[in-house]
Chains A and B, each alone.
Chain A
Amino acid sequence: MADHNDPNAVNSAFSDVDVSAADLYDLFGFPSADTAGGEKVVIALTMASVPNTGVFDSDMLYRVRMSAAPRATWPGGEEESLDTLLKYFGAVKEKYFGALHSAEIRVTVDAGGQAHLAFLRFPGGDFNLSIATNQVQTTETPNGHSIKAYIGGREEGFFNDLPGFFRSINYAPQYYNVPHSMTEARELPIPKTLLELEGNDLFNFDPATPQWGKTMKKDLPPGPWTWKGDKFKKDADGNFRFVYDGEDARAGKNCNALIFEIPLSFITEDTAKNRIVNTWGESWVLKAAHKVEAIPDEPFWHQHPWALLDGSASDAQLKQYKLVDTDGLPFADAALSEREDNRQLGANNFWLAPHFIKRLAHLGWGFGPSITALGLKTCFDHDNSPVSVLKTYSTAVEAFPRTKKTLFQKLNMPDNSWNPKGMDIPLRRPFEIFVPNVCAIDMDTTGTWPFGRRPEDQVATRFLALFLDMDAELNGKRYNVDTLGDQALWNSAPIVPKTPPNPLKNDKEFLDRFPYLAEPW
Chain B
Amino acid sequence: MTAYQRDLEKIDRDLESLEQPVGTEQTVRRVCRLYQRAALTARLDEFAAAEAALAEGFAKVGPWADLCLVKANLAMKFHRLGEAKRALGMAPGLAKSFPGRVVLADIDMQEGRYKQAREACEAMIAEDRTWDNLARLAYWESKFGEMTEAERIYLEAEDELTAKEMRGYTWVELQLGLLDLRAGRYQDAEEHYRRAGAAYTGYWLVDDHMAELLGTVGKYEEAIRLYERVLEETPRPELQQAFGELYVAMGEPRAAEVWFDRALEGFLKASDNGGVHYYHHLVDFYSDVRQDAPRAVEWALKDCELRTNYATQAALGWALFRNGRFRKAEEMMDQALASGVRDAHLFAKAATVKAAAGQAVAFDALSRRAFALNPHHDGFHVHRA
**A interface list, Cβ under 8 A from B:** 1-16, 20, 59, 177, 179-184, 217, 219, 222-223, 285-292, 295, 322
List 7 additional contacts besides A3-B42, A177-B24; criterion CB under 8 Å.
A1-B384, A4-B76, A7-B168, A13-B69, A14-B28, A59-B162, A289-B159
Contact A16 B29 (CB under 8 A): yes
In the assembled complex, the Cα of A182 lies from the Cα of B65 at a distance in Å of 8
Q: Of A9, A183, A222, A286, which is within 8 A of B92 by CB?
A: A222
Contact B164 A59 (CB under 8 A): yes
Known: A1-B384, A7-B132. A14 touches B70 (CB 8 A): yes
Contact A288 B65 (CB under 8 A): no
Contacts of A12 in B (CB 8 A): 32, 35-36, 39
Mark each residue of chain B from 127 to 140: 1 if its CB lies under 8 Å from any CB of chain A, else 0: 00011100110010
Contacts of A183 in B (CB 8 A): 97-98
User: Is B77 in the interface zone, CB < 8 Å from A?
Assistant: yes
In the assembled complex, the Cα of A219 lies from the Cα of B24 at a distance in Å of 7
Contact B163 A285 (CB under 8 A): yes
Contacts of B39 in A (CB 8 A): 9-10, 12
> In residues 261-305 of chain B, which contact A (Cβ within 8 Å)?
277
Known: A10-B168, A288-B161. A217 touches B66 (CB 8 A): no
User: Is B251 in the interface zone, CB < 8 Å from A?
Assistant: no
Q: Of A3, A9, A11, A291, which is within 8 A of B163 by CB?
A: A291
Contact B98 A2 (CB under 8 A): no
Known: A59-B164, A181-B66. A4 touches B136 (CB 8 A): no
> In residues 160-215 of chain B, which contact A (Cβ within 8 Å)?
160-169, 171-172, 175, 195, 198-199, 205, 208
8 A-B pairs within 8 Å (CB atoms) are namely A2-B277, A11-B168, A12-B36, A14-B66, A14-B70, A179-B66, A288-B161, A288-B199
Majority secondary structure, B binding face: helix
Give, as a whole number of angstroms, the nearest-CB distance from B41 to chain A. 11
Contact B238 A2 (CB under 8 A): yes
Contacts of A287 in B (CB 8 A): 158-159, 161-163
Give, as a whole number of angstroms, the nearest-CB distance from B343 to chain A. 14
Contact B94 A288 (CB under 8 A): no
Give, as a whole number of angstroms, the nearest-CB distance from B259 to chain A. 14
User: Is B58 in the interface zone, CB < 8 Å from A?
Assistant: no
> In residues 370-385 of chain B, which contact A (Cβ within 8 Å)?
382-385
User: Is B75 in the interface zone, CB < 8 Å from A?
Assistant: no
Contacts of B167 in A (CB 8 A): 10
Majority secondary structure, A binding face: loop
User: Is B61 in the interface zone, CB < 8 Å from A?
Assistant: yes
* Chain B residue at minimal CB-CB distance from A222: B92
Contacts of B35 in A (CB 8 A): 12, 14
Known: A6-B77, A14-B35. A291 touches B159 (CB 8 A): no
In the assembled complex, the Cα of A423 lies from the Cα of B291 at a distance in Å of 94
Known: A1-B208, A11-B131. A184 touches B93 (CB 8 A): yes
Contact B163 A59 (CB under 8 A): yes
* Chain A residue at minimal CB-CB distance from B102: A8
Contacts of A222 in B (CB 8 A): 92
Contact B171 A10 (CB under 8 A): yes
Q: Of A15, A285, A295, which is within 8 A of B36 by CB?
A: A15
User: Is B352 in the interface zone, CB < 8 Å from A?
Assistant: no
In the assembled complex, the Cα of A290 lies from the Cα of B165 at a distance in Å of 12
Contact B97 A7 (CB under 8 A): no
User: Is B80 in the interface zone, CB < 8 Å from A?
Assistant: no
Give, as a whole number of angstroms, the nearest-CB distance from A183 to chain B. 7
Known: A2-B277, A13-B69, A177-B24. A285 touches B162 (CB 8 A): yes
Contact B166 A291 (CB under 8 A): yes
Contact A7 B100 (CB under 8 A): no
User: Is B25 in the interface zone, CB < 8 Å from A?
Assistant: yes
Contacts of B91 in A (CB 8 A): 179, 181
In the assembled complex, the Cα of A181 lies from the Cα of B23 at a distance in Å of 19
* Chain A residue at minimal CB-CB distance from B25: A177
User: Is B153 in the interface zone, CB < 8 Å from A?
Assistant: no
Contacts of A9 in B (CB 8 A): 39-40, 73, 77
Contact B132 A11 (CB under 8 A): yes
Contact A5 B139 (CB under 8 A): yes
Q: Of B131, B163, B171, B242, which is within 8 A of A1 by CB?
A: B242
In the assembled complex, the Cα of A10 lies from the Cα of B135 at a distance in Å of 12
Give, as a whole number of angstroms, the nearest-CB distance from A318 to chain B. 13
In the assembled complex, the Cα of A177 lies from the Cα of B32 at a distance in Å of 15
Contacts of A4 in B (CB 8 A): 76-77, 106, 385
User: Is B236 in the interface zone, CB < 8 Å from A?
Assistant: yes
Contacts of A6 in B (CB 8 A): 76-77, 106
In the assembled complex, the Cα of A280 lies from the Cα of B359 at a distance in Å of 70
Contact B168 A288 (CB under 8 A): yes
Which 7 A-B residue pairings sit nearest by Cβ, starting from the closest?
A179-B65, A288-B169, A9-B39, A7-B132, A59-B163, A14-B32, A291-B163
Give, as a whole number of angstroms, the nearest-CB distance from A298 to chain B. 16
Contact A14 B69 (CB under 8 A): yes
User: Is B99 in the interface zone, CB < 8 Å from A?
Assistant: yes
Contact B93 A182 (CB under 8 A): yes
Contacts of A59 in B (CB 8 A): 162-164
Give the interface centre of A177, A181, A184, A287 by most chain B CB atoms within 10 Å.
A181
Contacts of B61 in A (CB 8 A): 219
Give, as a whole number of angstroms, the nearest-CB distance from A56 to chain B. 13
Q: Of A1, A13, A219, which is within 8 A of B99 by CB?
A: A13
Mark each residue of chain B from 6 to 39: 1 if its CB lies under 8 Å from any CB of chain A, else 0: 0000000000000000011100110110011001
Give, as a whole number of angstroms, the nearest-CB distance from B49 to chain A. 16
In the assembled complex, the Cα of A154 lies from the Cα of B226 at a distance in Å of 48
> In residues 44-73 of chain B, which contact A (Cβ within 8 Å)?
61, 64-66, 69-70, 73
In the assembled complex, the Cα of A286 lies from the Cα of B161 at a distance in Å of 9
Contact B205 A288 (CB under 8 A): no
Contact B132 A223 (CB under 8 A): no
Give, as a whole number of angstroms, the nearest-CB distance from B130 to chain A. 7
Give, as a whole number of angstroms, the nearest-CB distance from B29 to chain A. 6
User: Is B256 in the interface zone, CB < 8 Å from A?
Assistant: no
Contact B25 A11 (CB under 8 A): no
Give the interface centre of A13, A182, A287 by most chain B CB atoms within 10 Å.
A13
Contact B195 A292 (CB under 8 A): yes
* Chain A residue at minimal CB-CB distance from B383: A1
Give, as a whole number of angstroms, the nearest-CB distance from A324 to chain B. 8
Contact B28 A181 (CB under 8 A): no
Known: A10-B39, A181-B69. A286 touches B77 (CB 8 A): no
In the assembled complex, the Cα of A13 lies from the Cα of B130 at a distance in Å of 12
User: Is B314 in the interface zone, CB < 8 Å from A?
Assistant: no
In the assembled complex, the Cα of A28 lies from the Cα of B166 at a distance in Å of 34
User: Is B239 in the interface zone, CB < 8 Å from A?
Assistant: yes
In the assembled complex, the Cα of A219 lies from the Cα of B77 at a distance in Å of 29
Contact A217 B242 (CB under 8 A): no
